[in-house]
Amino acid sequence: MPIAALRFTNLGPFEEVDFDFDQQINVLVGPNNCGKTTSLLALANLAVRRFQLPPKLLRQHPSAFHTSFFDGDRKQRPLEGIFPVAYSADDPASPWFTAADILGVSKGDKWPYAKFKEFDDSRKCLGYTSFVPALRWSTDYRSEGPMRKPGTASKDSEVATRAEWSEKEERALRDETHTRASLVRDDQIVQQIVELDYRSYRLQKPVMREILNDIARLASKITEGYPIAFSGIAEDDRGLFLEFETPDGKMPLDVLSQGTQSLIQWLAQLFIGYAKHYRFPRSLNRKPGILIIDEIDAHLHPSWQRKILPALARQFPGLQVFCSTHSPLMLAGLKAGQIQLLTRDPNGKITVSRNESDIIGWSADEILTSFLGVDNATDLDSEEILQRLQELRGKKRLTAKQRKELESLRNTMNQRLLAGPASEELAQFTHGMNRPGNNSRKESAQKETRSRKTAPASRTSKSTRKSTKAKK
């Protein structure tokens, strides 16, 4: 059940803001300090259970929200309240608000709990939900092995599978790995994969192990030219670690590039959480879910960035993605309504607009200019020259000094343009035309050019002769 819309007040830099969402892809763009991260945190507080909204975002006045979810009949189900949203009626998420305060009624009334249950039930209908912050911390963490039963201290004690744990403990561990607002740590991801690998062996369930292969397969669709595969759990004198098959051979996770590590971290969080939530079904393809990820393109090369959203959409058609980016290549190919552009008006108020047409066939320069506030996608020195050229051309009269400056600036820009990528194409074309085998082609091209130039004159002379004979 995707999120249809969100309006909230008095949170972060916002006095009031309205969002209407696409049911699959929503990419937040805009300059720094325009509220992209705040908007994603607000969404996470509504969608992700046990999520702690950073208190620094709360203003003195209550931060109210109004949201709506699409139900099974694609009708919008409205819900409203006050941030922060508590996990349960007995466990408020904030020291400033009780569950009764959040719902705007007195503590003695029994109605708030019924209303909160309605809200919590709506959140459950969203399916699996996950939040990935902008910071993905990579370390050289080593695991000591699968977790032991609670209360056993010796390493020789019997190892417990996750199935032997209580549902409360399992939920607490799952929540701990995907609801932090500050960062994602690779030690949590490594421990989860060690647990999952062992559990698949202990319970003889290959579908669990296949989740790990799926992580690497999807990553390989994004990491153009550098395919990876999950090799297994390896061990050194410090403990257990993840190993991947790469074009450079078998490598530990912490030896891979920062971009590859970051990608594997949040993909692992998504896949494993998704699979656990639905109890490891044979296919996750159409299962509903929400992924909220800040700076989705962090550490990635541009050729990888443009593949992230298409790869996610193909892998999880039932997943609704909310993300932020500063990359124009992340926007290329998006459909109408999938970009949320946040900008400040002259009075400092932040407003939101959506793209009215598909971003198909757009160049990076066009996207930078239209959505990322870069008026001129060139180096700053050339931009200053162009601005000066426009200023001089706008003058009605120029002094001798200004005319000389204008001519100098024109020559400078012409040289820079000829020295750019087009110069190589021009040189290749000239070289090709000057090759020995191309002499006949050049001569025929010259003859054709001469015939075209003389043809209009000959036709005119014939018509003139005809008109002369007619007059006689």
Residue 440 included in any domain: no
132 pLDDT exceeds 70? yes
Any domain includes 414:
yes
At 88, which CATH number? 3.40.50
The reported pLDDT for the residue numbered 250 is 94
Taking the model in full, what pTM does it have? 0.73
Reported confidence tier of residue 114, pLDDT bands at 50, 70, 90:
low
Is 249 inside any structural domain? yes
pLDDT in tens, 232-241: 898 888 889 8
| Over residues 66-90, mean pLDDT | 69
Tokens for 286? 């159409």
Ramachandran assignment for 74, one of left (phi > 0), alpha (psi -120 to 50 degrees), beta (any other): left
Say whether both 98 and 147 belong to one domain: no
- 245 with 174, same domain: the answer is yes
Bridge-based pairing state of the strands 25-29 and 339-344: parallel
The pLDDT value recorded for residue 446 is 56
User: Is the domain of 291 the same as that of 197?
Assistant: yes
Show Cβ contacts of residue 133 under 8 Å, excluding neighbours closer than 6 positions. 180, 181, 182, 183, 184, 294
Task: Give me Rg for the CA atoms of the chain.
Answer: 31
Question: Range of 206's domain?
Answer: 136-151+158-296
pLDDT, tens only, 302-313: 889 989 999 999
- Together in a domain, 142 and 263: yes
Rounded Cα distance, 173 and 179, in Å:
11
Examine the domain organization and report whether 79 and 217 are in the same domain.
no
Q: Examine the domain organization and report whether 371 and 391 are in the same domain.
A: no
- Evaluate whether residue 245 is within a structural domain: yes
* 143 and 54 assigned to the same domain: no
- Give residue 68's pLDDT band: very low, low, confident or very high (50, 70, 90): confident
Please tell me whether residues 392 and 362 are part of one structural domain.
Answer: no
> Is residue 25 located within the same domain as residue 97?
yes
Q: How many structural domains comprise the chain?
A: 3
Q: Classify burial at 265, counting beta carbons within 10 Å of its beta carbon; exposed 0-12, middle 13-18, buried 19 or more.
A: buried
Output 403 or 169, whichever has higher pLDDT.
403
Predicted confidence (pLDDT) at residue 289 exceeds the cutoff of 80: yes
pLDDT for residue 213 is more than 70: yes
Among 361, 377, 393, residue at a domain's last position: 377
